[in-house]
Amino acid sequence: MSKSRTDVSAWLTSAPRPESRWRVRSTERATEDVRKRAQARSDRFLHIALELLSEGGAENLSVRKVVERSGMSLRSFYQSFSGTDDLFLAIYEEATLGGLERQLAAVAEAGTDPLDRLRAFMQAEWLASDPAPPLLQRSLVSFHQRLSETRPAELSALLQPQHRALTELLAACRGAGMSSPPLDDSTIASILLHTTMEMLQARVLGFYVGENVAFDQFWTFLETAFTRP
């Protein structure tokens, strides 16, 4: 090694400067590239899982099938998801977030009347699963039941944004002077969410006690709990 090269190496090692701007930029670029590749890999696994569910329902989904169709390795899958329950949770989260986006869009289009906005929110939730293939709808019901047993805290956390939005809509009704049940808004929101989820899951499964309840009938019942000033 030449003397000049030795001198340069000595200079670098004697002054590593770990917080140098170029080092920070280099690290950020590397981290960003890794993050983008990881996201792309996870998205591909998720899309393939949705394809399998749409084709054959929950029984058609397995880690092996997802990996085989993706053309990626089993190791890659487990870098993205810890197992099938983690994949189920991701699928359910995407469905929940998509449904909430549609609900909030419906509320925005409903005008300023608090009760109209509440109705729009509930109706959008009622119709949220309709565009999905029937086998995918049934799979989401199965996932909900499974996750409520295996990952209850995480499932609850996924539904918190929906609960929070509904609580705010109920508070707006109360703020407009409407009478409502003698319960706090958060409790009423919980009752409505659980009731609606149960009814929608029964509808997907084709299970009815008595009549198949339509949304207009459900809203007529719900609206009686609120009296305009």
Same domain, 47 and 135: no
Domain boundary (55, 81, 107) is at 81
CATH of the domain at 59: 1.10.10
Cα gap 143→132, rounded to integer Å: 15
pLDDT tens across 152-210, in order?
Answer: 999 999 999 999 999 999 999 999 888 888 899 999 999 999 999 999 899 888 888 88
Q: Distance between CA 41 and CA 90 in Å, rounded?
A: 13
**3 state DSSP class of 183:** coil
pLDDT band for 35, please (50, 70, 90 cuts).
confident
Residues 112 and 175 in one domain: yes
Taking the model in full, what pTM does it have? 0.80
What pLDDT score was predicted for residue 111?
92
Distance CA 197, CA 126 (A): 9
Render pLDDT for 98-119 as a digit per residue (tens, 0 to 9).
889 999 999 999 999 999 999 9
pLDDT of residue 2 exceeding 60: no
Per the structure, the complete domain to which residue 51 belongs is given by 18-81
Phi-psi region of 17 (alpha: psi -120 to 50; beta: other; left: phi over 0): left
Q: Which pLDDT score is estimated for 33?
A: 82
Q: What angle do CA 154, 91, 37 make, to 5 degrees?
A: 100
Residues 48 and 30 in one domain: yes
The pLDDT of 21-31, averaged and rounded, is 71
**More confident: 166 or 30:** 166
What integer is the mean pLDDT of 40-53? 91
Q: Answer yes or no: is 10 within a domain.
A: no
Q: Which residues contact 60 (CB under 8 A, 6 or more apart)?
A: 52, 53
Q: Is residue 190 part of a domain?
A: yes
Q: What separation in angstroms does the CA of 90 have from each of 40, 208, 222?
A: 14, 29, 32
pLDDT of residue 132: 79
And the tokens for 99? 């449904």
Does pLDDT of 76 surpass 80? yes
Query: What is the b/e burial string over 73-105, where b = at least 16 CB atoms within 10 angstroms of the residue's CB?
Result: eeebbeebbeebbebbbbbbbebbeebbeebbe
Domain co-membership, 100 together with 188: yes
Q: What pLDDT, on a 0 to 100 scale, did the predictor assign at position 184?
A: 94
pLDDT (0 to 100) of residue 152: 93
pLDDT-based confidence at residue 68 (cuts at 50, 70, 90): very high
Question: Which of 24-28, 86-90, 122-126 shows the lowest per-residue confidence on average (mean pLDDT)?
Answer: 24-28
Same domain, 65 and 89: no
Cα separation, 215 vs 126, in Å, equals: 7
